[in-house]
């Protein structure tokens, strides 16, 4: 313990060197804005600015990138709440309640809740990271393909079991997302698969952003156009005011939700350290559990503050957690950490258990900078809330074309192909029609993110077991996860049976 | 609404069948030494999609889902025009990317949306039509180095090459 604290103190001395401190503040601000752009997330920020870091020493470089990563995690919530478009896959769950809150004129409350929850999640996970890094790295080693697949199943089962939407439509939505994620080259044999109409654009597969921006950007905006038309052209995206007294009141209310924050933080951290799981399933599971433990679960999806807190605490905690396998095992837990890993290799740092002893300055400097990055990110974020609220006060007919513009560019930017822009518009229109018929669309977006992870995990597991599904039930870590998933899947059916039994009894 | 619910379920059911058929282009069974074939995963998922669609239709017959009970019109004339105009203008804008590029199409889209759909004044329209492309150009093309489509080569050569020379 004392040894860790000494090392941490040394780390703080590194992090608070003037150059590094500047890098943290600059990184957080840049990250916040990149994260707030629909279609641009921490991956884009880190990837675009990686070359800049060759100008500073490796410790400064990773501190800068980690600050961008952190800033972007805070920023992702902003576009989820304000525009209803998740800035990145990790912020998908934040839209579920963040958007309704903004529509009710409580955008400031949602933004404050997101910032505070992110700060709590981030800080708790850094503390956990500081003290439990080496032993947890050891557990993560036992996670193989069957455990990964079980974890994915659990993520999908949460939707079916706890979603509360039409089961058939939820299932349909999940499967559409998974099938769309299978388009492109088969990961194992390399053969082209589901290349519709032999259009070469499909060979690259369908980027999740194309579906996410299509559904949440174009589709949501068409929906708003309809509502605006029905309201006689008077509706606004959101009306909200920010005053100091309102902010103080919001903060006081948040204090009462410490349980949800703690739950989200711990869950997010543990999911985050699992290789290949990361922040997206973490935030989703956290949302599902928060809904279940809440006294009034019916409020979820209609503007429950807990519905913003839970995923935001979890995704920030997970982003710290996902650095753990990267540093200790060299396995990135998320696409962003994969780029960070690439950077470390370029700077001549070999990730692995030895990093902690051979480059202690670097590791502890990074850990200390995470504490600092969290603090600055929350301050910068709260300071900018009035600016974001001001943007929302623009009339809809001025804001709408700007959002459409951001959608078009957001769809184009990741692959720079017009094919994706067309596909995005198609998804937007179909998504709008499906939404009118009450098909839940969030499961499809999550499925297209998790699909490329779930499929190889399933195929590798079956290859290990020679085709037997028993493998998911006989391994120590996989069995409990898979069984919980199956229980969740069966939950709606059990509820239905119970209701029918009750009806029969009351008739008799 | 009732008609739309059924139509959508049938269309999506047919789409599922198409996906199942398309998946069989790859092996959907077990390949010795390689595990499940490349088509197995999408094939079985498409099967679940088809089953879900059948259940949606069953629920429609039993009037168990809210849209299958609703007597509301799925889309009245006014909504269709309002949403259609916006969706249509987006499609036209993207099509224009090929000819006059993002920076040619964007001001036109802004003029159409702000002036004709939003009924704002001409000064507001003019401001939107000039500020958005300029801000977009400096943020994406110059700062982030994401080159947006410039349309036909002649547009790029005459207008953008001099700009690149100055700013890049």
Contacts of residue B140 in chain A, CB cutoff 8 Å?
409, 413
Q: Strand, helix or coil at A54?
A: helix
Contacts of residue B94 in chain A, CB cutoff 8 Å?
408, 418, 421-422, 425
Q: Residues of B numbered 100-129 whose beta carbons fall under 8 angstroms of chain A's beta carbons: which are they?
A: 102, 106, 109-110, 113-114, 117-120, 124, 128
Return d(Cα A261, Cα A159) in angstroms, integer. Answer: 21
Q: How far is A189 from chain B (nearest CA, A)?
A: 7
Return d(Cα B139, Cα A418) in angstroms, integer. Answer: 20
Return d(Cα B123, Cα A37) in angstroms, integer. Answer: 27
Kind plus residue range of the DSSP H or E element containing A192: strand A192-193
**B113, B120, B140 member nearest A409 (Cβ):** B140
Interface contact A401-B90, CB threshold 8 A: no
Contacts of residue B59 in chain A, CB cutoff 8 Å?
166, 168
- Of B143, B146, B149, which to mutate for an interface test with A (greatest number of A Cβ within 10 Å)? B146
Nearest alpha-carbon partner for A290 in A302, A305, A306? A306
Return d(Cα A86, Cα A41) in angstroms, integer. Answer: 9
Between helix A2-15 and helix A360-392 the angle, nearest 10°, is 60
Contact B20, B39 (CB under 8 A): no
* pLDDT tens digits in sequence order for chain A, 508 residues long: 677 788 888 888 888 888 888 999 999 988 888 787 766 667 767 776 776 777 788 888 888 888 888 888 888 888 888 877 776 777 888 888 888 888 888 888 898 999 999 999 999 999 888 887 766 656 666 778 888 888 778 778 877 776 666 888 989 999 999 999 999 888 778 888 988 888 888 988 888 778 877 887 788 788 878 877 877 655 555 556 677 778 788 888 888 888 889 999 998 888 887 655 567 778 888 888 888 788 887 888 888 888 899 999 998 898 888 887 777 766 666 667 777 877 787 777 877 667 777 777 888 888 888 888 889 889 988 888 888 777 766 777 887 888 888 888 878 887 888 999 999 999 999 999 998 898 888 788 778 877 887 888 899 899 888 888 999 999 888 898 899 889 888 887 887 788 888 888 887 6
Q: What angle do CA B18, B20, B21 make, to 5 degrees?
A: 65
Interface contact B38-A175, CB threshold 8 A: no
Report the residue of chain B nearest A464, measured CA to CA: B35
Return d(Cα A339, Cα A323) in angstroms, integer. Answer: 11
Q: What's the full length of chain B, in residues? A: 168
Q: In the beta sheet, which residues pair with residue A184?
A: A193
Chain A and chain B share a number of CB contacts under 8 A equal to 163
Report the residue of chain A nearest B108, measured CA to CA: A401
Please classify residue A144 by burial: count the beta carbons closer than 10 Å to its beta carbon, then call 0-12 exposed, 13-18 middle and 19+ buried: middle
């Amino acid at each position: 313990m004392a040894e860790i604290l000494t090392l941490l103190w040394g780390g703080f001395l590194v992090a608070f060197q003037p150059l590094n401190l500047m890098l943290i503040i600059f990184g957080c601000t840049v990250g916040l804005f990149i994260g707030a752009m629909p279609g641009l997330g921490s991956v884009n920020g880190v990837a675009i600015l990686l070359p800049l870091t060759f100008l500073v020493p490796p410790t400064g470089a990773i501190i800068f990138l980690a600050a961008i990563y952190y800033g972007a995690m805070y920023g992702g919530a902003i576009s989820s709440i304000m525009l209803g478009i998740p800035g990145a896959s990790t912020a998908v769950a934040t839209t579920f309640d963040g958007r309704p809150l903004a529509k009710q004129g409580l955008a400031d409350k949602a933004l404050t809740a997101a910032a505070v929850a992110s700060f709590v999640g981030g800080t708790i996970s850094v503390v956990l990271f500081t003290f439990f890094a080496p032993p947890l790295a050891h557990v993560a080693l036992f996670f193989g393909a069957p455990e990964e697949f079980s974890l994915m199943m659990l993520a999908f089962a949460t939707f079916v079991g706890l979603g509360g939407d039409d089961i058939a439509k939820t299932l349909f939505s999940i499967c559409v997302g998974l099938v769309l994620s299978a388009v492109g080259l088969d990961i194992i044999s390399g053969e082209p698969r589901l290349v519709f109409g032999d259009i070469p654009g499909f060979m690259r597969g369908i980027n999740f952003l194309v579906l996410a921006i299509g559904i949440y950007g174009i589709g949501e905006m068409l929906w708003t156009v309809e509502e605006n038309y029905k309201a006689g052209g008077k509706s606004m995206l959101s009306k909200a005011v920010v005053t100091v007294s309102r902010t103080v009141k919001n903060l006081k209310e948040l204090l009462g939700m410490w349980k949800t924050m703690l739950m989200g933080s711990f869950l997010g951290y543990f999911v985050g350290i699992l290789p290949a799981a990361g922040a997206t399933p973490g935030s989703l599971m956290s949302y599902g559990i928060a809904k279940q433990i809440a006294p009034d679960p019916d409020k979820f999806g209609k503007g429950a503050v807990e519905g913003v807190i839970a995923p935001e605490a979890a995704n920030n905690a997970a982003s710290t957690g996902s650095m753990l396998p990267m540093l200790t095992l060299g396995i990135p837990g998320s696409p962003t950490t994969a780029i960070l890993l690439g950077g470390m290799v370029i700077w001549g740092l070999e990730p692995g258990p030895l990093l902690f002893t051979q480059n202690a300055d670097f590791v502890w400097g990074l850990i200390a900078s995470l504490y600092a990055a969290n603090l600055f990110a929350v301050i910068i974020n709260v300071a900018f809330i009035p600016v974001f609220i001001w943007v929302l006060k623009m009339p809809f007919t001025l804001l709408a074309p700007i959002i459409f513009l951001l959608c078009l560019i957001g769809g184009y930017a990741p692959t720079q192909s017009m094919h994706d822009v067309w596909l995005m518009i198609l998804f937007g229109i179909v998504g709008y029609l499906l939404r009118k018929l009450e098909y839940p669309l969030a499961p499809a977006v999550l499925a297209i993110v998790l699909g490329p992870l779930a499929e190889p995990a399933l195929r590798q597991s079956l290859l290990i077991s020679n085709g037997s599904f028993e493998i998911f039930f006989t391994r120590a870590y996989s069995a409990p996860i898979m069984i919980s998933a199956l229980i969740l899947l069966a939950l709606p059916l059990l509820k239905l049976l119970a209701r029918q039994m009750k009806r029969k009894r009351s008739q008799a | 609404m009732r008609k739309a619910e059924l139509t959508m379920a049938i269309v999506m059911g047919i789409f599922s069948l198409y996906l199942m058929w398309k998946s069989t282009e790859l092996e959907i069974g077990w390949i010795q030494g390689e595990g499940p074939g490349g088509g197995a995963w999408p094939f079985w998922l498409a099967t679940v999609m088809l089953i879900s669609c059948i259940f949606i239709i069953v629920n429609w017959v039993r009037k168990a889902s809210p849209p299958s009970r609703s007597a509301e019109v799925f889309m009245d004339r006014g909504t269709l025009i309002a949403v259609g105009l916006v969706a249509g203008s987006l499609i036209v804008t993207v099509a224009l990317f090929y000819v006059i590029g993002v920076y040619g199409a964007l001001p036109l889209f802004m003029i159409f949306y702000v002036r004709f759909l939003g009924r704002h004044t001409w000064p507001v329209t003019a401001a939107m039509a000039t500020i958005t492309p300029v801000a977009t150009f400096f943020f994406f093309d110059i700062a982030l180095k994401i080159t947006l489509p410039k349309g036909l080569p002649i547009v790029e050569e005459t207008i953008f090459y001099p700009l690149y020379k100055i700013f890049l």
